Amino acid sequence: MAIYHRAVWARAARGAGVSSSLFAVRDAAGRCTAAFAAQTTATRALPGHSVVAIPRLGIGAGGFDRNQLEAAITLLVDRARASRRILSVVADVFSLDAAARDETSELFRRHGFKRVPVVRSYERTLLLDLRPSESELFAALHTKARQGVRSVDKFPIRIKTAEDTTLSERFEELNAQTRARTGGENHRPDWAAFIDMSRQSPDLSRIVVLEKTADGGREAVIAFAWACLHGDVAEYKESASSRSERRIPTTYPLLWDLILWAKRSGAKWFDLGGVTGGGHDGDDPLAGISDFKRRFTKHEVDVGEQWELYPHPRRAALAAGVTRVASLARSLLQSRYLRRPARAG
């Protein structure tokens, strides 16, 4: 079962205003045979309403076969339509098996869901096969990746697990710096909660930091990386770094640490968390990150789709209108502010 459907994740996400409900399928003897969590978050698009998200779901995940998943989706849809406060239900379909993914998507289509552009997860990723030995895995890395991993021995730096929740402020700083460079959305997870979760469940989640040994305090941390375990697949979830030490290849040793942790935890595959086309001759702001990931593996596959249901279409249309008006108002205010003449002195 993916970590997103476990109690440890529900407790960690609670601080960010996310509440989780568990949907379970039981056999004739009353035993739970499959389950998934639905995560509910309030939406500002229409006050008093919420959005329900089901992450990383698919036939074969969480113990679901086709009949079990269809029963679970039916129950989910019925409850969404019975509630007047649910604005939308978003399901992230995820599977390494194309046939299982297609079958899962067809079930959502039959129950009124429509496929939408993926905005919270990803459709394509790079997979690293963890079944070879550690020495074989290392030997298969790109030369630049191997050099980056070995850099820990050449600089006054060290890798350690994140144990102190006060590092959350430093994580936010590094995350903001990284997103500013890549143009990515600067979302703000509850890092203290996820650091605590990783400390309590080191077999399911691992956050590692790269710090300068000569410095003290939180400024010594110049990079961090995070991975989660979803059954036999580990996911490279987040990373960020400072450019204050440009000569140190910060992310290579951290990613290699997470790969070894995943293998030793029993994972068969390491999912590098999504990939774009790459290449530095285009306008892809994430090209550098994708090219970096390809130095660990070039096995690129389709893994995900996103499906959405509006149980109350009129309310959804109203919310969409409110969002458009708010966006237009912000644009006009920003435009007027930029046109204001600067004050002398």
Domain positions in the chain are: 3-123+304-335, 124-301
Q: Which two tokens stand for residue 303?
A: 């893994």
Closest by CA to 209, choosing from 235, 236, 178, 170, is: 170
- Predicted pLDDT at 280: 56
Per-chain mean pLDDT for the chain: 87
* 124-301, CATH topology level: Aminopeptidase (3.40.630)
Long-range contacts of 313-322 (CB under 8 A, 24+ apart): 315/46, 315/49, 315/84, 315/87, 316/87, 316/88, 318/46, 319/43, 319/45, 319/46, 319/49, 319/87, 320/45, 322/45, 322/46
Summarised one tens digit per residue, pLDDT across range 128-164 is: 999 999 999 999 999 999 999 998 888 888 999 999 9
What pLDDT is attached to residue 313? 86
Q: Contact at 8 Å (CB) between 95 and 303?
A: yes
pLDDT higher for 23 or 261? 261
Residue-wise pLDDT for 194-243, tens only, equals 999 999 999 999 999 999 988 777 789 999 999 999 999 999 999 999 87
pLDDT of residue 345: 43
Please compute the mean of the pLDDT values over residues 73-92 and round it to a whole number.
93
Q: Would you give the distance in Å from CA 316 to the centre of its chain?
A: 26
Higher pLDDT, 250 or 131: 131
pLDDT classification of 334: cutoffs 50, 70, 90: low
pLDDT at 322: 65
pLDDT at 131: 97
Percent of the chain with pLDDT over 70: 88
Instruction: Return the H-helix or E-strand segment holding 147.
Output: helix 143-150
For the chain, percent helix, then strand, then coil, each to nearest 5?
40, 25, 35
Distance CA 165, CA 336 (A): 41
CB of 10 closer than 8 Å to CB of 20:
yes
pTM for this model (two decimals): 0.87
- Taking only the tens place, the pLDDT of each residue in 265-312 is 999 999 999 888 765 555 666 778 889 999 999 999 988 899 999 998
pLDDT of residue 264: 97
From CA 315, how far away is CA 86, in angstroms rounded? 9
Both tokens assigned to 140? 């298969």
The DSSP secondary-structure symbol of 324 reads: H
- Spatial neighbors of 193 by CB under 8 A, at least 6 apart, are 11, 12, 13, 14, 15, 16
Asked whether this chain's domains 3-123+304-335 and 124-301 adopt the same fold, the reply is yes
**CATH no., domain 3-123+304-335:** 3.40.630.30
pLDDT of residue 339: 54
The mean pLDDT value for 316-325 works out to: 71
pLDDT of residue 119: 67
Handedness of CA 262, 263, 269, 270 (dihedral sign): positive
CA–CA gap between residue 2 and residue 179 (Å, rounded):
26
Kindly state the helix (H) or strand (E) to which residue 139 belongs, with its residue range: helix 134-139
